[in-house]
Amino acid sequence: MLTRFAPSPTGYIHLGNVRTALVCWLYARKSGGKFMLRLDDTDIERSKEIFVEGIKRDLTWLGLGWDLEMRQSERLARYREVVEVLIKDGRVYACFETEQELDVKRKMQMSRGLPPIYDRAALKLTEEQKQKFLAEGRKPHYRFLMKDESITWNDEVRGPVAFEGKHLSDPIIVREGGSFTYMLPSAVDDADYAITHVVRGEDHVTNTAVQIQMFKAMGKVPPTFAHTAFVKTKEGKLSKREGSEGMQEFREAGIEPLAIASFLAKVGTSDPIEVRASLEELVAEFDMKKFSRSPTIYAPEDIDRLNAKLIHLYTFAKVAPRLKEMGLSAIDESFWNAVRPNLKTVNEVKDWWTICRETLSPEIEDADFAKAAAEILPTGKWDEKTWDIWVNDVKQKTGRSGKTLFMPLRKALTAMEHGPELRNLLPLIGRDKAIARLHGKAA
């Protein structure tokens, strides 16, 4: 098996792209096959090396290593060669309409309730008319001639799929400036590199029907296709505008790559969406037959939930190198184990450490109230129950309740209005620091 992920380096990849890459990667690994990274960079003006580097960085961060790599920009001569052969075979033909003329045709067809299928007017041009257009300075674009025949395949997700060639418009494969559209280069690459399985979104189903005829025109056997249903936000399909968080945004938010992989590997399948501790587990559970044809909804909190569950599985040995990189090498195993159940990201451990172990200047709203609270701090060993016992005693002694009770204590103990739960912080702060801070001393 050989699968491929084929992003265009005209921007950074987002969740929708990553899902395709992940499914391709899992499919290949489950079958003992290989995974190719193909950079569809035929759009010379918009393709940037910074995006190529970003795509590779993101895939590496996610753990999706590739076995083969290629760039379409290095194969332009090959595409031109195929076009010349198809011209000779009568499957590719030159057209001279301008974009404005084509737009008028489309609008006229749609106003009459007809599908916007190209009318093949270019096939009726005489040689004299073609030469006249060339003399006027018009540059031809080229279309692939669809045959009037049934196009069928058994999709790995959608099941049997059928199209009629006569209902599909002849696609433009070479623009008037000589650049290639997506359609033909993709089919040529899949054929030349013997791609066995193509996994992509359901918006490519019609493209697949067209490309199957292209494979046959080249004398090649089409690969197996799988068109996955969309993962949507409440606003609609994941795109570069909505729900399109890039991997850099997830990294900065402290989201773990395995949380993203766990979500994307399970969303839209018959499996429950639960976190997995390794990519190997996701590989073992992967089965294309589990994917549904129905779209599913993505919400950021889905990944946040999985991320928290994943953090709660992390041993100190696993995070120790990262803590060192964060400048938190003083954190030991006991501290990590104490705060881990309350973390949503590894980054949050810094807040806990600052509050519990570093010196800070408390904010005292009412010195008398703070001292009174300090006088009745429980003695003995502190645990998660200590806070509730102490606060209840303070309430009884001072008559305060609600925000007037909790906020002054929080500010005195943490110098913040918000933060980790005090019932979890108090045992880590310790009695000596707590007394000092309640008395207004930096501790």
Q: What is the pLDDT of residue 321?
A: 96
pLDDT band of residue 93 (cuts 50, 70, 90) is very high
Residue 134 CA: distances (Å) to CA of 94, 97, 128, 175, 176: 11, 12, 10, 15, 12
pLDDT band of residue 297 (cuts 50, 70, 90) is confident
CATH architecture entry for 367-438: Orthogonal Bundle (1.10)
Residue 361 CA: distances (Å) to CA of 21, 358, 439, 440, 443: 49, 10, 11, 7, 7
**pLDDT tens-place string over residues 73-82:** 999 999 999 9
- CATH number of this structure's domain 77-174: 3.90.800.10
CB neighbour list of residue 222: distance below 8 Å, 6 or more residues apart: 153, 211, 212, 215, 216
Mean model confidence pLDDT for the chain: 94
Count CB neighbours of 124 within 10 A. 8
Does position 234 have pLDDT exceeding 90, yes or no? no
CB neighbour list of residue 255: distance below 8 Å, 6 or more residues apart: 303, 304, 307, 345
This prediction's pTM: 0.89
Distance, CA of 203 to CA of 231 (rounded, Å): 12
Q: What is the pLDDT of residue 240?
A: 43
CATH class of the region 1-69+229-313: alpha beta
**pLDDT tens-place string over residues 115-142:** 999 999 999 999 999 999 999 999 999 9
- Which is it for the CA torsion 79, 82, 87, 88, positive or negative? positive
- Give the position of tokens 């929708």: 16
